[in-house]
Structure 1
Amino acid sequence: MKVEKIAFPQRFLWGAATAAFQVEGATGVDGRTDSIWDTFCRIPGAVVGGDNGEPAADHYRRFEQDVRMMADLGLGAYRFSIAWPRVRPDGGAVNQAGLDFYQRLVDTLLEHGIAPWPTLYHWDLPQKLEDAGGWAARDTAFRFADYAATAVEALGDRITTWTTMNEPWCSAFLGYAAGIHAPGRAEPEAAVAAVHHLLLGHGLAAEAIRAANSHTRVGITLNMYPIIPADPAAPGDQDVARRLDGLQQRIFLDPLFRGEYPADVVEDLEPFGFAANVRDGDLGVISAPIDMLGVNYYTEHYVSASPNGASSAASPWVGVDQLSFPRRDFPLTDMGWEVRPDGLTSVLLRLHEQYPRVPLYITENGAAFRDELDSDSAILDVDRTSYIESHLRAAHDAIEAGVDLRGYFCWSLLDNFEWAEGYAKRFGIVHVDYETQVRTPKMSARWFSQVARDNALVAVP
């Protein structure tokens, strides 16, 4: 039997990703104050099982063990987020104890030959800033830049790549429109204001990072999905797909890469006062060149003018997840998401063909499944392994088509607090027993380790 190796480009970066609130725990330790997620978790029914970010995966206390495990797995990079309420509690003065934790983490990563890839904002806005208006308030963008300057001043001599924001779509539309993520507001005017202020915060933070270290690479991470009309011949479905693609993708990509918001999206959002948030000079700040773009991908979305296929118009600000539905001919993850690896190829090709080219990295890709233990207590997560393999093949297809894809970060390194799903969903390639905090690499971790070491997939026809 012929065995074919599917090789990735030289120096392709292999890593795994986490987010501070999902893994760190220690939410009241060393000067950290509440984030919007601490507050949101206290709302009855907001999170499955009433779960919260304590102790999560206890990464704050166990990071040295976790870094050794990453090194054993042969990972070349670790994408983590810095907790704003640790570094500048309540959005105010600098907290040295919080900075010291990230100093230790970065130093330990470098000692083990692992590149640190920090994200400055993975959704944990200090609650005091939310009380002052949150991302719906323009001032929050400037407070974010202050925080970014603090982080890069402390860590920038050891870090070569910074990500400003993770998935601003989720922050704006799930947090301020749908109300199903922190801060739990269902206010369309606030949501569209948040879109612009998140992007402005990115641009201001990028300025601050480059002012502190001109040799540092700066980028942003967006969650991207093909958005496909359920009935391509139905005008209502076509229009919903256009509007949702505008809100999911183009409202972020166009200002970043073209220095303007899409005219059709601005028109759709006119009833909610979107344009009034944009001031002279803002788009120049937002569109300053970036050095890389992170892409988070999990599935495709099929959308209709209504969930039952009727042709009634959808609200122009509604979130994609509220209008998408699975089709029965594809396997589903434990989140109810279709396994659609071809969509990753489509997303990468779209960026390559329609926007100015910058290096791309898959900064999140993975799946929640129910883990199965064999008689030796090994965790045989066959479905997760298959999911990652199929998406790596899709990524390789994009590379073969000319896409400048330079790395892949699996989501997630550890089982963790999965936002509104609490601890009910497991994405980790490493199992975490939340009672004992024992870590157990799953089959997917061992398999992914070999891929990273070989810089290649093995294909058996």
Structure 2
Amino acid sequence: MQRDREPAHRLPADFRFGTSTASYQIEGAVDEDGRGPSVWDTFAAEPGRVRDGDTGAVACDHYHRFADDIELMRGLGAEGYRFSIAWPRIQPTGRGPANAAGLDFYDRLVDGLLEAGIRPMATLFHWDLPQSLEDDGGWLNRDTIERFAEYATIVGERLGDRVADWVPVNEPNVVTMMGYAVGIHAPGKTLMFDALAAGHHLLVAHGRAAIALRALGAQSIGCANNHAPIWPGSDDPADVGAAKLFDTLWNGHYLEGMLLGRYSDDLMMLVEHHVRDGDLATMRQPLDFYGLNYYNPMRIAAAPETAELPFEFLDVVGYPTTDFGWPVVPDALREWLIMFRARLRAAVPPIVITESGCAYDVGPDEHGVVDDHQRVDYHAAHLTAVAEAIERGVDVRGYYAWSLLDNFEWSEGYSQRFGLVHVDYETQVRTAKRSYHWYADLVAEHRRHTADG
């Protein structure tokens, strides 16, 4: 038995394999069929915001090629597909009646997935906020919560009879930190700790959307939160304290908000003037699964007193890195899963790895082969880490590889390739990589092994 196929023999029979994407990163067609502008259209059009001036205007042209992409999923054999719905396609200004053409597109996508035997997992917000709402304050404006609840109802009424799993908000911590605190992502604001207002509104919006979907009969609602083990830069008490503060800010603030309906004392003083009666209860909705987006641990040290933030980021040394410079540490995933369960115990619903992946810039060779063996090693090692966590009693139900396709990687443009499928952005030709074939073989072997008992 090959070492890289070992997870097939260690994961439970009902374990679900899948892949993930996001609307702005793959769809393109930003000005077709009534779609309105999003914050990422605006952000990418500003010089210097995105590497090489790249935009998502065409991306992978998935809007026109989704049927071909479903065939790629069919060939992969994975049971699940996590995609996101572009809010500006449904409500071009984030308000008012639905755009019929936008809903029709996702109708066709979901029907195609079901015909191919693939379980749809729909994310309502994967960062492409309608620009009109941002003009009114975006997630800093409490009214956006109401608009999001209305949008969730529109989508749930149309697709709720066929979408199996729902994620209201993708990575509220990343939106808050990268978009509103330090400005690396859209909408590009640099509010530092004042950005926590956006984070609070995102959590309440998550709850309001969950309530709306549940009222429409949704049976499986979860989340997709980005979490990372936070390691102190040294044993110095200042570094340990800075790491604990960042761990609260990055991890605890959002998982405790969703699962326990509370904020830590350290951060409550920074958000309490945004919290209204009922908000904490609204955030804490029953979840059928807890989605974990995992990529790597972070190493944090205390910053100089003159710095704008009280912590600074250090390299995680001693591990291989991806082409993005991210450390590859599968053991950290296993440990995070174990500690998550130990810390919150009964409050933790079944877990699904809703994203995990790596960037390696490997293209087709002279024979048309994309030999991304590093990606094979990455997913094999991380699935093994998941299997080890399950063997330690953690209830993990699935793993969705990021990403099905190479795509627009936010402020990095098209410079980072995460896909199981290579995309030539000039011709839109798709080429299944070695990792795609490995993943397909892993899924098939898992089925054979579990069928044999």
Please tell me the TM-score bracket, short chain as reference.
over 0.9
Q: 1:283 to 1:313 in 2, by over 3 A?
A: farther
Q: 1:145 to 1:354 in 2, by over 3 A?
A: same
Shift of 1:327: 3.7
- Alignment of 1:305 with 2:294, yes or no, is no
> Contact 1:254–1:260 at 8 Å: present in 2 too?
yes
> Contact 1:218–1:292 at 8 Å: present in 2 too?
yes
409, 413, 422: which one pairs with 2:404? 413
Q: 1:2 to 1:234 in 2, by over 3 A?
A: closer
> Contact 1:85–1:125 at 8 Å: present in 2 too?
yes
AA partner of residue 126 (structure 1): P
> Contact 2:233–2:314 at 8 Å: present in 1 too?
no
Residue by residue over 1:5-33, the C-alpha shift from the partner in whole angstroms, topping out at 9 and shown as x without a partner, is: 63311121111000000000000010001
- Cα distance between partner residues in 2 of 1:265 and 1:108: 45
Residue by residue over 1:316-344, the C-alpha shift from the partner in whole angstroms, topping out at 9 and shown as x without a partner, is: 587xxxx3222442111111110111111
191, 196, 199: which one pairs with 1:192? 196
- Cα distance between partner residues in 1 of 2:212 and 2:381: 39
The residue number in structure 1 matching 2:247 is: 245
AA partner of residue 185 (structure 1): K
> Contact 1:305–1:314 at 8 Å: present in 2 too?
no
How many residue pairs were aligned? 443
- Cα distance between partner residues in 2 of 1:69 and 1:219: 26
9, 13, 26: which one pairs with 2:12? 9
- Cα distance between partner residues in 1 of 2:309 and 2:196: 11
The residue number in structure 2 matching 1:324 is: 313
The residue number in structure 2 matching 1:234 is: 236
- Alignment of 1:148 with 2:139, yes or no, is no
How large is the RMSD of aligned CA atoms in angstroms? 1.8
Residue by residue over 1:157-184, the C-alpha shift from the partner in whole angstroms, topping out at 9 and shown as x without a partner, is: 0112100111001111100010010000
Shift of 1:370: 1.7
The residue number in structure 2 matching 1:103 is: 107
- Alignment of 1:158 with 2:147, yes or no, is no
Tell me the SS of whatever aligns to 1:408.
strand
> Contact 1:6–1:456 at 8 Å: present in 2 too?
no
Residue by residue over 1:391-429, the C-alpha shift from the partner in whole angstroms, topping out at 9 and shown as x without a partner, is: 111111111111110000000000000000000110001
- Cα distance between partner residues in 1 of 2:215 and 2:19: 29
> Contact 1:159–1:216 at 8 Å: present in 2 too?
no
Q: How many percent identity over aligned positions?
A: 47
AA partner of residue 352 (structure 1): R
Tell me the SS of whatever aligns to 1:102.
helix
- Cα distance between partner residues in 2 of 1:404 and 1:446: 27
> Contact 1:243–1:316 at 8 Å: present in 2 too?
no
> Contact 1:64–1:108 at 8 Å: present in 2 too?
yes
AA partner of residue 339 (structure 1): V
Shift of 1:374: 3.5
Tell me the SS of whatever aligns to 1:220.
coil
- Cα distance between partner residues in 1 of 2:373 and 2:301: 33
Taking structure 1 as the reference length, the TM-score comes to 0.93
- Aligned pairs for 1:375-414 within 5 A: 375-414=366-405
- Cα distance between partner residues in 2 of 1:122 and 1:364: 13
> Contact 2:298–2:316 at 8 Å: present in 1 too?
no
> Contact 2:60–2:407 at 8 Å: present in 1 too?
yes
> Contact 2:192–2:309 at 8 Å: present in 1 too?
no
AA partner of residue 288 (structure 1): Q
Shift of 1:351: 2.0
Unpaired segments ≥5 residues, structure 1: none
The residue number in structure 2 matching 1:353 is: 342
> Contact 1:89–1:126 at 8 Å: present in 2 too?
yes
- Cα distance between partner residues in 2 of 1:147 and 1:60: 20
277, 280, 285: which one pairs with 2:282? 285
AA partner of residue 259 (structure 2): F
> Contact 1:177–1:317 at 8 Å: present in 2 too?
no
AA partner of residue 361 (structure 1): V
Tell me the SS of whatever aligns to 2:123.
strand
> Contact 1:431–1:440 at 8 Å: present in 2 too?
yes
- Cα distance between partner residues in 2 of 1:455 and 1:35: 40
The residue number in structure 2 matching 1:42 is: 45
AA partner of residue 422 (structure 2): H
